[in-house]
């Protein structure tokens, strides 16, 4: 496992959560890497600009088409069984609870699982895209992010200091060292890996953590 | 009936201070030929409703750099550095709306619905000063519908009556915008005779469309290129 970068460790762990025929929306960044670790699992990727059944980027140059792009505006392909629709239908699908899993990145997440993933601090707030719709509407919300920022500070914090993405809480937080869930009792560690110990995790995060997993 | 017009007739429909709905997600599904023409006009004070302000220097970006836009309503402007700068300088108003709320507001606008309650953005900075209401135990905010004076949209094929079909993900905001403005002008790859489109595949019925313009763009690799 040490061969993998932290981004890949996160993506691989998220992939374990997905089941055959799940309808999944992957946010930009680490979430898009999840497709590399799906193995034989057959999932249907939804992209909010109007496609259910998104395939990988085209390999053959003649398959590149500027009319067929993902939410990051990069060329993609369709898989058999795909469907195309307009933006209002796409967000009815998202907001209406028809997407099984949304996997999103975040800048911060609080002790209850509320996330801040759209407004970069100290910069004008001029972009939100589909983030808030996905937070509000997906059946299951998985947050995939590095636990520690570049300065070593924990993204898992007591209270958000950046702008919230909505009241709905994450169902699962997957990081490079552990996976967490949230409930009234507190923050639960449901998986721990990548050479991290419970004690070190508690110390670096600086918040009470409940250990729900047996460490080998 | 033949709704096809020449691009030279476009100026008859675009005036100062109008609210214009513009289709597209980046350049994909954006009426690039029409926007090239609009950028040539001596007009100002436009309010533009579109997901973002163009991409890679194309489409709405050209209209924006000509100083024609007073206000932009959309979901994602961060990637357009010039727009961010203009906003910082107080030269451009921006109204930021979540992408799904934007799509639904336009859909409502075209459907005769004044607004709707959504759970998107509840508890965030974008819900400030909005009416909150509890429905079936959940918090929602009220969002008003959006309409325009003109909609400039993009489709793949039109018949001369204005029935439209789209191509791949170039559909995006276009079908809603087709319903939500007083005058709707569509740019297409191909114009066919009435009866040639299979009614089962028509996405936008002809009733919504006023004028049809032939595109001047072709696709090369991952880009749209103007064929002169």
| B117-158: pLDDT as tens digits | 999 999 999 999 999 999 999 999 999 999 999 999 999 999
| B211-222: pLDDT as tens digits | 999 999 999 999
| B57-69: pLDDT as tens digits | 899 999 999 999 9
Judging contacts by C-beta atoms under 8 Å, the chain A residues touching residue B51 are 87
Q: Please check whether residue B180 touches A, CB under 8 A.
A: no
Q: Which residues contact B172 (CB under 8 A, 6 or more apart)?
A: A49, A50, A86, A87, B23, B24, B25, B28, B29, B51
Is B124 inside a domain boundary? Answer: no
A32 vs B114: CA distance, rounded Å: 37
With left for phi above 0 and alpha for psi between -120 and 50, is residue B109 left, alpha or beta? alpha
Domain of B23, CATH number, reads 3.40.1080.10
Instruction: Tell me the domain boundaries of chain A.
Output: 6-211
Q: Does the ipTM exceed 0.90?
A: yes
Res. B176: pLDDT tops 80: yes
- pLDDT confidence band for B227 (50 / 70 / 90): confident
Q: How many other CB atoms sit within 10 Å of the CB of residue B4?
A: 14
For chain B, percent of residues with pLDDT exceeding 70: 100
Contact assignment for A87 to B103 by CB distance below 8 Å: yes
pLDDT for res A125: 86
Is B189 inside a domain boundary? Answer: yes
Is B136 inside a domain boundary? Answer: no
Is B66 inside a domain boundary? Answer: yes
pLDDT for res A1: 45
pLDDT for res A214: 74
Q: Please check whether residue A40 touches B, CB under 8 A.
A: no
B86 vs B97: CA distance, rounded Å: 19
Predicted model pTM: 0.96
Give the number of domains in chain B: 1
| A89-98: pLDDT as tens digits | 999 999 999 9
Which contacts qualify for B181-184: CB closer than 8 Å, 24 or more apart?
B181/B20, B181/B21, B181/B147, B181/B148, B181/B149, B181/B150, B181/B151, B182/B148, B182/B149, B182/B150, B183/B13, B183/B149, B183/B150, B183/B151, B183/B210, B183/B211, B184/B150, B184/B151, B184/B153, B184/B208, B184/B209, B184/B210, B184/B211
Shortest CA gap B216–chain A (Å): 15
Shortest CA gap B222–chain A (Å): 5
Judging contacts by C-beta atoms under 8 Å, the chain A residues touching residue B99 are 48, 87, 91, 128-130, 133
Name residue, tokens 């933006």.
A87
Supply A53's token pair: 């059944």
Asked if B95 and B72 count as a contact pair (C-beta separation under 8 A), the reply is: yes
| 3-class DSSP state of A19 | coil
**Per CATH, domain A6-211 is 3.30.530.20:** no
B19 vs B92: CA distance, rounded Å: 15
Is B41 inside a domain boundary? Answer: yes
| B10-49: pLDDT as tens digits | 999 999 999 999 999 999 999 999 999 999 999 999 999 9
Shortest CA gap B147–chain A (Å): 15
Q: What is the average per-residue pLDDT within A121-143?
A: 94
State which residues form the domain around B174.
Answer: 7-114+147-220
Which element (helix H / strand E) includes A81?
strand A77-84
Is B185 inside a domain boundary? Answer: yes
């Amino acid at each position: 496992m040490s061969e993998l970068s932290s981004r890949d460790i996160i993506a691989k762990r998220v992939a374990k959560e997905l089941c055959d025929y799940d309808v999944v929306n992957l946010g930009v960044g680490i979430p898009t890497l999840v497709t590399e670790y799906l193995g034989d699992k057959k999932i249907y990727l939804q992209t909010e600009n109007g496609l259910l059944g998104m395939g990988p980027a085209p390999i053959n140059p003649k398959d590149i088409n500027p009319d067929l792009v993902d939410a990051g505006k990069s060329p993609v392909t369709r898989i058999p069984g795909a469907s195309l629709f307009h933006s209002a239908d796409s967000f009815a699908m998202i907001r209406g609870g028809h997407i099984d899993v949304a996997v999103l990145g975040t800048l911060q997440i609080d002790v209850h699982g509320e996330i801040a993933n759209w407004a970069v601090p100290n910069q004008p707030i001029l972009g939100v895209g589909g983030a808030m719709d996905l937070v509000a509407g997906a059946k299951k919300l998985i947050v995939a992010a590095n636990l520690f920022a570049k300065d070593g500070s924990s993204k898992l914090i007591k209270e958000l200091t950046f702008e919230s993405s909505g009241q709905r809480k994450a169902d699962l937080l997957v990081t490079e060292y552990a996976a967490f869930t949230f409930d009234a009792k507190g923050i639960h560690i449901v998986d721990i890996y990548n050479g991290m110990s419970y004690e070190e995790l508690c110390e670096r995060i600086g918040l009470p953590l409940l250990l729900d997993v047996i460490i080998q | 009936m033949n709704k096809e017009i020449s691009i030279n007739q476009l100026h008859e429909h675009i005036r100062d201070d109008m609210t214009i709905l513009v289709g597209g997600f980046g350049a994909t599904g954006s009426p690039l030929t029409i926007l090239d023409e609009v950028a040539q006009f001596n007009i100002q004070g436009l309010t533009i409703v579109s997901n973002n302000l163009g991409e890679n220097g194309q489409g709405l970006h050209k209209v924006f750099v000509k100083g024609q836009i007073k206000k932009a309503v959309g979901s994602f402007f961060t990637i357009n550095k010039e727009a961010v700068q203009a906003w910082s300088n107080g030269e451009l108003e921006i109204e930021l709306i979540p992408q799904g709320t934007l799509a639904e507001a336009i859909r409502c606008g075209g459907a005769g619905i004044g607004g709707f309650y959504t759970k998107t953005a509840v508890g965030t900075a974008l819900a400030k000063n909005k009416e909150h209401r509890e429905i079936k135990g959940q918090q929602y905010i009220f969002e008003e519908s959006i309409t325009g004076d003109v909609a400039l949209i993009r489709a793949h094929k039109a018949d001369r009556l204005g029935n439209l079909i789209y191509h791949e993900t170039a559909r995006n905001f276009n079908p809603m915008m087709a319903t939500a403005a007083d005058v709707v002008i569509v740019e297409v790859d191909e114009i066919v005779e009435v009866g040639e489109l299979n009614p089962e595949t028509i996405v936008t019925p002809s009733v919504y469309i006023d004028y049809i313009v032939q595109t001047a763009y072709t696709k090369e690799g991952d880009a749209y290129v103007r064929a002169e």
